[in-house]
Structure 1
Amino acid sequence: MNLFSYDINEKYKTSVAYFSMEFAIDQALKIYSGGLGFLAGSHMRSVFDLKQNVIGIGMLWSFGYYDQSRNENRSLRPQYTRKHYYFLEELDVKVTVKIHGEDVMIKAFLVRPDIFGTAPMILLSTDIPENDYLAQTITHKLYDGNERTRVAQEIVLGIGGTKVLEALNQSIDIYHMNEGHSLPLAYELYSRYKDMDEVRKHVVFTTHTPEKAGNEEHNIHFLHEMGFFSNHSLAEVRQITGYNNDDNFSLTVGALRASKIANGVSKIHGIVANEMWANVENKCEIISITNAQNKKYWTDKALIRALDEHEDYEVIARKKHLKKILFEIVANQTGKIFNPEVLTIVWARRFAEYKRPGLLKYDIDRFIKFIKNTDRPVQIIWAGKPYPTDEGAMEIFNELVHMSHYYKNMAVLVGYELYLSRLMKEGSDVWLNTPRITREASGTSGMTASMNGSVHLSIDDGWHPEFALDGKNAFTIPALDHKLPIEEQDRIDNKNLMDILENKIIPIYYDEPAKWTEIMKSAMTDVEFEFNSGRMVAEYYIHMYDYKS
């Protein structure tokens, strides 16, 4: 079956299946949670732009991640609504996988390239009448909190995705695991090749985070019982994975041992990943290919046109118009009228403790004085989805909501998905990024913000050091010793953050508007090539797919 609606570019003829647990390609298709999905979505769009021979393999989540709404007191309420997608094409193929000794049937659906301008994408579902209710729930919710369900999802993605490709007569040269979730595909391939050296020639791996939660570990007996290793005996599994004595199986280690080559997602992350996994025997080489985002999808075309025409007044006017559009959302959700003339700071990404959404208010007295300043006013907006069972992150979100009730220039928005994300990047002046240093693998939201003239103010981590010229196209919170106690890191980073805002950014914005416009324009210009995902997907072919180990 021909899944492509375009002619493959000869430079990119190696056939690739790109496996990812989530893809954010359009607001209408809610099968993503955050940054990993945003990255995968841009990857699929740039595959289409460059006419590469890549097929995306993902999951059709019946309820998505979750819909973000509010309780009566305006605190966060996760809501689950069944989704229906009439633009998907039901494929005439069903495959069966063994999960915990039971047959589970998988149905495949196609997102054709012409619908959203992406690679062809195959989405897998177990939520079909042929399965019992328990099996149907496997593809209900992205990142289900139940360990058995999570592992079942990984089996469906890895083994099921591989079987669907075979059933569709797709000849695949390279299987790209975007994170370790699809690792079972390696053991399914071993069933065909009977040789892990041969498997490795066909598998590559991208690791996205140094965070423990992003590097899953499970008991090897449990994984074997679930069917994670296809139909292989535990003795054979231990032999092919190198887990001869250790029962605590890391998906990341498994992926590093099953691939011909792997990559971190920024230059710094490449170094961190090599340090993290330095003691892993028989792992593949870990290089770095810095993440990027699809400029064509993410940028406001009128703003870019004004930039290209070198008309500063048009850049300024368009930016104020974009701020007004964002502020309509603020007014609708919060009843607060924001002013497009006022410096607007946005913190928006997945809510997680290490990303420190509340760093701005660490010194609460200084923050209150900052937000109540009427001579040089600021407006601050937060948005993002905490993991729905992460009580600490939910508490931070709700604390900010409660605090926002007392200030007319502070807002916390819900519904942080592709549509709102783009509006916030187009309508903000400063894009704030505050993770603890060494813990940000990439942080691609700052790229799409910079593409829209929102100046990146960030910890010196992830992609930022590859881009930032402090005071020229971005502002950098000075690096500190990541081995300091967390409390001390937060105190120092907060002081440096507030000093930059009060002593650099605010004076430039209000006293030197021409200089601020130059910084905006430099951000848009400097981010254009290196951090456009066209560069990234070309590098994957050169350094990963066509690489001979």
Structure 2
Amino acid sequence: MTDFKNFQVPYPVAPEYSTKTAYFSMEFAIHQPLKIYSGGLGFLSGSHLRSAYELKQNLIGIGILWKYGYYDQSRNQDQTLKPEWYEKLYSFLEDTGIKYQITVHDVPVWIKAYYLAPTIFNAAPLFLLSTDTPENDYLSQTITHKLYDSDTAAKIAQCMILGIGGARLLDELNFNPDVYHLNEAHGVSSVFHLMQKFGSKEEVKKRLVFTTHTPEEAGNEKHDYYLLNKMSFFNGFTVDQVKELTGMKGDIFNHSLAALRFARKANGVSRLHGQVSREMWKDYPDIPEITHITNSQNYKYWADKQLYNFEKTGDQAAFDDRKRYLKKRAFEIVADQTGQLLDPDVLTIVWARRFASYKRAELITRDLRRFDALMKKTKYPIQIIWAGKPYPLDYGAVSVFNQLVHLSKNYPNMAVCVGYELTLSKRLKQASDIWLNNPRVPREASGTSGMTASMNGSVNFSTYDGWICEFADHGKNCFIVPSPNYASMNIQEQDEYDLNKLYEILEKEILPTYYEDKDKWRKIVQKGMTDVVGYFESNRMAKEYYELMYKG
């Protein structure tokens, strides 16, 4: 039986990773059956915990057990997006028996803690908090029902469960970490529990580190001081005391700025994002230097090992055969969902990730005349698959998803899939020859989906943003839209430039290489595979967090 009253990680800790760390994240994508994530932030946290386990680091995860997950993505009668919420049941989680109360909106709310043991999915220990317990009134029970609830008060309460509730759990476990790591600012309310525990900002600062994922100031979570105070967010501190502690006057509390001012160290999630973050926060005093640790993904979980074996042994025929098999297998899922039966011998482009306006899912379709000509090519045929989950109340993103669904009805070589979670993500990476990524520069903090695409024999085709800037070698391991001076362009000009370059590179470089020079194509695929494992594998990232962020 696990001892939850004096918890220690249940494996021998490697001496270089002995610093005791608690890693707070709103979402964790550990494995397909545990649906407590929405997108990139969760994929990153999941890979981090997997690598922490592989390296035997003294780290535990703190998250929330979302009763209905993010949402289940299904379809209306006309194939358009239909969000649905189902109760999730997990026999593999252990009830710790730990129950305690925190105050939310002046009401005591019970929190129950569940445990995901490392051996279940090969990840560092993970504790998940839930308010869905009979001791609570119905409103309190619903706090941990839906990830990123659209109601403002509910979302603030969720942040409090993660922050104050998570910090309090560590006391219940008697874990007493050397480092509290906030992965994004959702858990910043933890600092108000730690202030009560350690007595001063200086003492809290010795123990807190912060990772920001937001590349623009407007994207940071902000709320009215008085609403937060009414919700008991400040855990007994008055608004005036909090303003004094955070140096934030006025009526608005900026969660990321508070996290920065309580942290001894902070980091962005790619080299470019580190630069963008330093520039973004440079006029704010009393914040730590912002370094960068580039996000990465876990080889053991994501990579197709057979492709890597054939690449290593130089068995090119077996390599090609394996990639063809992976495509064919994935196309069965696509056909099952959409009725579109794709051809494993045709160049396949996949755009799949969270639907957000700056990621421009539909960019390639914006010039319908060119898109139609591209889709009807006979000399160099192509196939395109889209997938991804828009936030259900982001009506612009939902509308883009639905436009693509309707457009796909005109083309047998175009499909739009639903249910974009870990398993479909891996299959679509295996299905793709080209992993299309065209965010509006410089809006993508990191964007890790292309890393796992490379690990499955796909070639990145991207605008020059996020992690790609550290990886790209155009025509050697990927294809890149060259960056002009975007700062001198308005949004329409930027979109038009990127669209023209996408078509130009696709038609003049990608398609001729794929169909006329198989050896060269294979070399690009394989260089991408080796380059991505060389630097963008999450063991490197987990190691860097210990070296750059957790140690003294």
CA gap 1:68/1:212 in 2 versus in 1, 3 angstroms: farther
CA contact (8 A) 1:362 1:490 kept: no
TM-score by length of 1: 0.98
Aligned-partner SS, 1:453: coil
The residue that corresponds to 2:237 in the other structure is 232
The residue that corresponds to 1:254 in the other structure is 258
Deviation at 1:22, TM superposition (A): 0.1
Aligned-partner SS, 2:314: coil
The residue that corresponds to 1:273 in the other structure is 277
* Whole-Å separation in 1 of the counterparts to 2:435 and 2:468: 12
Deviation at 1:124, TM superposition (A): 0.1
* Whole-Å separation in 1 of the counterparts to 2:301 and 2:217: 32
The residue that corresponds to 2:468 in the other structure is 464
Q: What letter is aligned with 1:409?
A: N
Q: What letter is aligned with 2:344?
A: P
Q: What letter is aligned with 1:494?
A: L
- Decide which of 218, 222, 227 is 1:217's aligned counterpart: 222
Aligned-partner SS, 2:533: coil
Deviation at 1:507, TM superposition (A): 0.2
The residue that corresponds to 1:120 in the other structure is 125
The residue that corresponds to 2:536 in the other structure is 531
Deviation at 1:213, TM superposition (A): 6.8
- 5+ unaligned residues in a row in structure 2: which ranges? 1-5
Asked if residue 158 in structure 1 is aligned to residue 163 in structure 2, the reply is: yes
Deviation at 1:529, TM superposition (A): 2.2
Q: What letter is aligned with 1:237?
A: V
Q: What letter is aligned with 1:226?
A: M
Q: Within 5 Å, which residues of 2 pair with 1:188-199?
A: 188-199=193-204
* Whole-Å separation in 2 of the counterparts to 1:374 and 1:134: 58
Q: Within 5 Å, which residues of 2 pair with 1:513-532?
A: 513-532=518-537
- Decide which of 482, 489, 504 is 2:486's aligned counterpart: 482
* Whole-Å separation in 2 of the counterparts to 1:237 and 1:357: 41
Runs of 4+ in structure 1 over 2 Å off: 1-5, 211-214, 480-483
- Decide which of 149, 156, 167 is 2:172's aligned counterpart: 167
* Whole-Å separation in 1 of the counterparts to 2:69 and 2:483: 37
* Whole-Å separation in 2 of the counterparts to 1:154 and 1:537: 25
The residue that corresponds to 2:416 in the other structure is 412
Aligned-partner SS, 1:527: helix
Map Cα deviations across residues 196-237 of structure 1 (whole Å, 9 max, x no partner): 111111000000122567410101111111111111112211
Map Cα deviations across residues 461-488 of structure 1 (whole Å, 9 max, x no partner): 1000101110000000111333311111
* Whole-Å separation in 2 of the counterparts to 1:272 and 1:11: 31
CA contact (8 A) 2:7 2:174 kept: no
* Whole-Å separation in 2 of the counterparts to 1:392 and 1:509: 35
* Whole-Å separation in 1 of the counterparts to 2:401 and 2:216: 20
Aligned-partner SS, 1:316: helix
* Whole-Å separation in 1 of the counterparts to 2:171 and 2:484: 50
Asked if residue 103 in structure 1 is aligned to residue 108 in structure 2, the reply is: yes
Aligned-partner SS, 1:540: helix
CA contact (8 A) 2:353 2:388 kept: yes
* Whole-Å separation in 2 of the counterparts to 1:462 and 1:480: 16
Q: What letter is aligned with 1:304?
A: Y
* Whole-Å separation in 2 of the counterparts to 1:466 and 1:402: 37
CA contact (8 A) 2:9 2:59 kept: no
- Decide which of 440, 447, 450 is 1:443's aligned counterpart: 447
Q: What letter is aligned with 2:464?
A: D
The residue that corresponds to 2:60 in the other structure is 55
* Whole-Å separation in 1 of the counterparts to 2:111 and 2:451: 37
- Decide which of 292, 300, 306 is 1:302's aligned counterpart: 306
CA contact (8 A) 1:362 1:491 kept: no
Aligned-partner SS, 1:469: coil
* Whole-Å separation in 1 of the counterparts to 2:197 and 2:305: 48
Map Cα deviations across residues 124-171 of structure 1 (whole Å, 9 max, x no partner): 000000100000000000000000000000000011111111111112
CA contact (8 A) 2:27 2:37 kept: yes
CA gap 1:491/1:511 in 2 versus in 1, 3 angstroms: same
TM-score by length of 2: 0.98
CA contact (8 A) 2:8 2:175 kept: no
* Whole-Å separation in 2 of the counterparts to 1:212 and 1:334: 40
- 5+ unaligned residues in a row in structure 1: which ranges? none
The residue that corresponds to 2:17 in the other structure is 12
Q: What letter is aligned with 1:56?
A: G
The residue that corresponds to 1:177 in the other structure is 182
Asked if residue 69 in structure 1 is aligned to residue 74 in structure 2, the reply is: yes
The residue that corresponds to 2:3 in the other structure is none
* Whole-Å separation in 1 of the counterparts to 2:317 and 2:270: 35
CA contact (8 A) 1:4 1:112 kept: no
Q: Within 5 Å, which residues of 2 pair with 1:350-499?
A: 350-483=354-487, 484-499=489-504
Deviation at 1:427, TM superposition (A): 1.6
* Whole-Å separation in 2 of the counterparts to 1:213 and 1:58: 25
Deviation at 1:445, TM superposition (A): 0.3
CA contact (8 A) 1:3 1:120 kept: no
Q: What letter is aligned with 1:177?
A: L
Aligned-partner SS, 1:175: strand
Q: What letter is aligned with 2:266?
A: A
Asked if residue 315 in structure 1 is aligned to residue 315 in structure 2, the reply is: no
Aligned-partner SS, 2:283: coil
Q: What letter is aligned with 1:276?
A: M
Aligned-partner SS, 1:529: helix
Map Cα deviations across residues 81-129 of structure 1 (whole Å, 9 max, x no partner): 0000010000121111111100001000000000000000000000000
* Whole-Å separation in 2 of the counterparts to 1:212 and 1:9: 38
The residue that corresponds to 2:332 in the other structure is 328
CA contact (8 A) 2:296 2:448 kept: yes
Aligned-partner SS, 2:114: strand
Asked if residue 138 in structure 1 is aligned to residue 130 in structure 2, the reply is: no
* Whole-Å separation in 2 of the counterparts to 1:65 and 1:228: 23
Two-structure CA RMSD over aligned residues (Å): 0.9
* Whole-Å separation in 1 of the counterparts to 2:162 and 2:330: 37
Deviation at 1:3, TM superposition (A): 4.5
Q: What letter is aligned with 1:513?
A: K
Q: Which moved more, 1:224-233 or 1:211-220?
A: 211-220
* Whole-Å separation in 1 of the counterparts to 2:531 and 2:311: 12
* Whole-Å separation in 2 of the counterparts to 1:435 and 1:162: 36
Q: Which moved more, 1:441-450 or 1:308-317?
A: 308-317
* Whole-Å separation in 2 of the counterparts to 1:63 and 1:146: 16
Aligned-partner SS, 1:347: strand
* Whole-Å separation in 1 of the counterparts to 2:218 and 2:355: 14
State percent identity of aligned pairs. Answer: 52
Map Cα deviations across residues 437-478 of structure 1 (whole Å, 9 max, x no partner): 010100100001011110000010100010111000000011
CA gap 1:493/1:208 in 2 versus in 1, 3 angstroms: same
Asked if residue 344 in structure 1 is aligned to residue 348 in structure 2, the reply is: yes
Map Cα deviations across residues 517-542 of structure 1 (whole Å, 9 max, x no partner): 11111110111121000000100011
